Amino acid sequence: MAYYDLEPWGRERESFAVIGSIFANAYRGKDQEEYSPHDILSDVPEPEPEEPLAPEEIKAKWRGFTSNFVSGMRSPFGHHS
C-alpha cells in the first residue's frame, strides 16, 4: 500500500486487464467461455450488462457518427463546400 501512495494505479491497470483478456480470448479453446478483464484481474469490476439497442437507435448513432466524421473531413482537391 505504501507504493500505491507514491505511484497510484487505476485506469492504466484496468487497461492492462482489457489487453490481457483480448490475448486470452485470442488463444482460448473453441468451446471455452469468453474471458473478461475481471477474469484477468479480479479487482477490476465486472461490466454492467447493456441492453441491446433497437435498430432505430443504431441508425441514429451511426448517422451522428458519420455526419460528425464527414463534416470534419477536407477535400483532397482543395475544394471547399
Q: What is the pLDDT of residue 55?
A: 92
For residue 54, the model assigns a pLDDT of: 92
Closest of 50, 48, 39 to residue 17, by C-alpha: 39
Q: Give me the mean pLDDT over the 44-71 stretch.
A: 81
Q: Binning pLDDT at 50, 70 and 90, where does residue 57 land?
A: very high
Q: Is 44 in contact with 17 (CB distance < 8 Å)?
A: yes
DSSP classification of residue 51: P
pTM across the whole model: 0.47
